[in-house]
Amino acid sequence: MPLVDMKDMLNHAYRHGYAVGAFDLVSLDFLEGIMTAAERSRAPVILSLAESHFEYFDFELVMPAVEAAARRASVPVAIHLDHGGSLASAVTAIRYGCNGVMVDASSQPLSDNIQATRAVVDMAHACGVPVEGELGYVPGVEGEDAERHPGEVAYTTPEQAGAYVEQSGVDFLAVSIGTVHGRMKGEPRLDFQRLQQINEVLGIPLVIHGGTGLSDDQFRQLIANGVAKINYYTALSDAAAKQINENTKTDTGSGYTGLVKHLCATIATEVERCMHQWGAAGRADELLSHCQAWMPVEHLIVYNVHGVGKAGAETMIAEGRRILSAIPGVREVFTGEAVQNDAEYQYTWLVRFCHLAVVDSYREHPEHVAFADKLFRPVAGERISIDYQMLATDVTHIEYSNKEKVMR
């Protein structure tokens, strides 16, 4: 159960006046630290993966660990693509296991931003995945080097926000009201009146990027005016770097493992502070009873092939794998042949969908329809096709108290 629908999660936060932290992670130390903080403070959490950070780690390799951390958690978790730059990157993120995606076309003119966002929304909603859009410009790129890429703030206006949300169909909106990504030069001045007006017009969860460096009072006013998701990274990165610097002074002999000592604990301390400050601490159990679990669906087909021989069957199967794997919401395609020669059905497709919504969108997808009509059905005589959803009891819970004991 702990991997939950991000829309349910943020709607709950929005209605109950608190904000969920979306913490960008760049390594397993970050992942463990963030999850430890969430478990300790019984807070919902968003594990966030920023596209601009993919030069530092392999997104595909990291995602199984992120998903495993979410599935074994006892607090509600969502996995989000931060600042996705294209439709293709949103499709890939959903394939790898994200159940929320951000599309950032905010540098484009309004109509182009709406068009690019709408395309992602149509695709993602057909996969059951909610979408965050951005309007206006929050200076900097995600990362601790943002100070070097300042640009000018482009404020979100309430009028444009109304049109953008209506026409793009986004579920959450990232607004620009004076925050910047990364370290601040001087005191940030936030336009709360503008935020209040945007919130009155939209009535949907709002998102703040550039959480690092804001004061208690600023966070309080942001949340009071509709902010339900706060993106946070640079402070975690700085805390981790400080810890490494300290390690180099005290530990000269033990190599890499000595240098990264206490990183999880350091990151966990800062994340926990945020969860308390933003009112998310202690919300996990109440939220779990209001959230739908995020559960995959297995689309199973068993069939026999007639009239094309073994080689013909293999060609059809290879083509099917190529076509079906690319359909949005498909996470994996397993094609198999029966181990027993006398099995009633000789072949199988096992197609893993990210969510129940994909049962319909996959069936109707033009690439699937063309493959099924032209290549599959003509040769696959008798067959059985059934969709299975994972039972909630399949989710394994591992006690986090054991993990804490070994935390580095």
Q: Name residues contacting ligand 13P, limited to 26-85 (CB under 6 A).
A: 50, 82-83
Instruction: Please identify, using beta-carbon distances, which residue of 24 and 67 lies nearer to ligand 13P.
Output: 24
Which of the 8 DSSP states describes residue 397? P
Exposure string for 311-324, b = 16+ CB within 10 A, e = fewer: eebeebbeebeebb
Whether residue 39 contacts residue 73, with contact meaning beta carbons closer than 8 Å, is answered with yes
Which amino acid type is present at position 303? Y
CA-to-CA separations, 369 to 117, 119, 353, in angstroms, rounded: 26, 21, 17
Please state whether beta strands 227-232 and 206-208 pair in parallel, antiparallel, or not at all (unpaired).
Answer: parallel
Residue 211 as a binder of ligand 13P (CB under 6 A): the answer is: yes
Residue number with CB closer to ligand 13P (118 or 183): 183
Q: Is 249 helix (H, G, I), strand (E, B) or coil?
A: helix
What is the DSSP secondary-structure string of 131-176? EEEEESB--S-SSTTGGG-----BPPPHHHHHHHHHHH--SEEEE-
Q: Give the separation between CA 337 and CA 72, rounded to whole angstroms.
A: 32
Active-site residue set: 82
Q: Which stretch binds ligand 13P (CB under 6 A): 165-173, 229-237, 258-266, 395-403?
A: 229-237
Our CB check for ligand 13P shows the closer of 232 and 353 to be 232
The nearest distance, CB 398 to ligand 13P, in angstroms, is 29
Report, in Å, the least distance between residue 43 CB and ligand 13P: 17
Q: Site for ligand 13P (CB under 6 A): which residue of 24, 39, 134, 171?
A: 24
CB count within 10 Å of CB 407 equals 14
Judged by CB under 6 A, does residue 233 bind ligand 13P? yes
- DSSP, collapsed to helix, strand or coil, labels residue 260 as coil
Distance CA 222, CA 230 (A): 9
C-beta closer to ligand 13P: residue 225 or 361? 225
Task: Give the E-state strand segments of 233-307 in sequence order.
Answer: 297-305
Would you say 161 or 239 has its CB closer to ligand 13P? 239
Rounded to 5 degrees, φ, ψ at 152 are -110, 140
Q: Which is nearer to ligand 13P, 236 or 324 (CB)?
A: 236
The answer to the question of residue 2 lying near ligand 13P (CB under 6 A) is no
Beta bridge partners of 336: 348
Query: CA nearest 20: which of 271, 188, 217, 395?
Result: 271
Query: How does DSSP classify residue 331?
Result: E
Does the footprint of ligand 13P cover residue 209 (CB under 6 A)?
yes
Q: Per CB under 6 A, does 210 bind ligand 13P?
A: yes
Site for ligand 13P in 288-327 (CB under 6 A): none
Window contacting ligand 13P (CB under 6 A); options: 106-114, 230-238, 351-359, 374-382 = 230-238
- What character string, x for contact with ligand 13P (CB under 6 A) and - otherwise, covers 119-158? -----------------------x----------------
Residue 234 sits in the site that holds ligand 13P (CB under 6 A): yes
Q: Is 231 near ligand 13P (CB under 6 A)?
A: yes
Of 87-95, 112-120, 226-234, 244-252: span binding ligand 13P (CB under 6 A): 226-234
Nearest distance in Å: CB 32, ligand 13P: 19
Binding site for ligand 13P (CB under 6 A): 24, 50, 82-83, 142, 181-182, 209-212, 231-234
